[in-house]
A and B are shown apart, each in its own frame.
Chain A
């Protein structure tokens, strides 16, 4: 496992990635319970291995339409974070893309940058800032 490997996933129809070494596990909690009073991009809270984790809706956090609620949602649990990421599907482990990393388009906070790729672009999430400072 090289340092630059990424875990790529899809949310709201777009592709995102986080550093693989920050990924603890992918999990399917039974459901996500909404949290009254939380910002719109927080999907709620879920129990993963008995631990209560806040769940950030990746799509909503970057300004895409929020993910619909569905049974057995897929979340990516991160090391060093009290929240997990709600995603649609996981594409898998990929090497860090060869292309140029461009700054994120305006209105899309908490991204490290984007890389153009076949059929679109891959957004690199800034894991640490994601929960707190995602754009609304």
Chain B
């Protein structure tokens, strides 16, 4: 198990990704703990403890002993705080912060290519010096608890029970008896309720009423003024659980000194004017809006038919007016629902900014990160997926672009470097550009390297864009780092990740003046409203913007114009094609009555397609298919339809071109 990390290997990449996340979490835990006084929220201390602990684990596993040791020291100090061996004084948290900063620096050194960085001076020595006087008040006796519970306490739980007693808090037991199918939802909700009411000290097995059910018992410390009956009601109101009893706290423990009331834990789920909504709920809303739009269409058609023969003119008028109103509302609902998924790009840039300053510190660079266009909105899913590749580009700009302060001064540049990130929508794409004012990339060095490593054969002409070689696997070798400006480490992975999102990355550079990485991701990934149709066993997704309308038509509604089946649409005949025939699928047997038809256009051409049925309108994430996968060129990608089915995404332009080409051929033959 003691394998060495391989520089640039997937292991060290995974380690960096994980360490990054953990340290970021540690940072926000520390920020949250700031100003909590001497009774910090134990859940936050625990969360901090866990992140540092996990970092130690991962570092140890990949053989980074220096980081493992430093994490261990921070973890030990946190454990002392948790267990009440060290008082949670400001000096303590200052020391913890020093420790976390040191870890950030060490991880930064790994990112910069160092094999196994370690601290010169052990953190323990520093901590011992800083915390000589921080020892806690003695604990009073423990409250009396059910013996089976008491016997299974961990040391930490025992300590927290004592601490609750010392602070004059009450203890509450919540018994949960949950259905197996939904126990995790129920348990999580009850845990959340318990944490909101006080401190969830531990989760214990309960006694289930039936072996097929799951029983838990939560031990919660609550401030004395908490209405335990209300807590019980809230837990019971979770519906997914049955509350058996809320044991009253054992006789309130006498408090020796006036209890310090903890600051009310108003974890703001609701910030001013903003509501946090889980992504799934938004997705459900978008689905409903799509369904509603389809139903509106069907209702409109039915209404027209029904009203045509209605003698009561005023009733007809009323119905038409009401439908027009509905039409307007439904049309407005779709885009509004979709826009809920958009978030300002700021959530992403803030994260990049934090990584930027950490990397700069670790590398001894002085530089500012400037962001333009933070108000640009992007899809939440896209923001999450983009974080990793963009972090890599930012780190790369600092590591290999921006020079150290002395070198910059010597080159006649300002001492502080700059990396400017610009975000802007461009047509159907979003452009995220990162420009540094660093040393630039030497294109001749790239070409030389590419020829040496065999990426380019010795006699091949120079490629038009030599910088694209940076993104080729195999280009980024450790030697490349020392030989020239060293761009390229892991960039193949960046390009691969972006390609997965249907995006691309390009580099422009002027030696001595700087480099720009331009990442372009398609808007279509952000939101591609699609009409999903079924043909046989297959589902196809057509971009919503290409769909003119859907209708039902009798087979004899088609007419033959110049030897081609056509449909009368808006006063002109448009070619009518069967999608199953176009794709060489077996036609459905025994079909009678009206057929479902989709009329599509691409601005130039219009055509109508017979499908088996129209399934719905959804906001789909279309994944591109690699070119090496053989298929009809009308199929551009794949998308998951809510419910787990997979739809083949159609390229409307290619599809229309094909129908028109065969219509022309038919006309020529006729």
Contacts and interface: CB of A to CB of B under 8 A. Distances in A.
A51 B623 contact: yes
Interface of B: 473, 500, 537-539, 583-585, 623-626, 628-632, 635, 637-638, 640, 644, 646, 648
A45 interface: yes
Given A39-B630, A83-B629, A131-B628, 7 more contacts: A33-B539, A33-B648, A34-B537, A35-B632, A38-B629, A52-B623, A131-B629
Nearest first, the 3 closest Cβ-Cβ pairs linking A and B are A82-B626, A54-B629, A37-B632
Interface in A16-75: 30-31, 33-39, 42, 45-47, 50-52, 54
B538 A47 contact: no
Contacts of B473: 80
A132 interface: yes
Nearest to A45: B638
A54 B625 contact: yes
Contact of A36 (B623, B635, B644, B646): B635
Nearest to B630: A38
B290 to A, nearest CB: 21
29 contacts: A33-B538, A33-B539, A33-B646, A34-B538, A35-B629, A35-B630, A35-B631, A35-B632, A35-B635, A36-B538, A36-B585, A36-B631, A36-B632, A36-B635, A37-B583, A37-B630, A37-B632, A38-B629, A38-B630, A42-B630, A45-B631, A46-B646, A47-B640, A51-B623, A52-B626, A52-B637, A54-B628, A83-B629, A131-B629
A33 B584 contact: no
Contacts of A37: 583-584, 630-632, 635
Interface residues of A, number: 22
Most chain B CB atoms below 10 A, which of A30, A39, A50? A50
Given A31-B646, A36-B635, A50 B623 contact: yes
A52 B625 contact: yes
B624 A52 contact: yes
Contact of A52 (B584, B630, B638): B638
Contact of A30 (B539, B637, B638, B644): B644
Contacts of B632: 35-37
Given A52-B625, A54-B625, A82-B628, A36 B640 contact: no
A117 B597 CA distance: 57
Contacts of A50: 623
Interface in A115-136: 131-132
A45 B583 contact: no
A35 B646 CA distance: 11
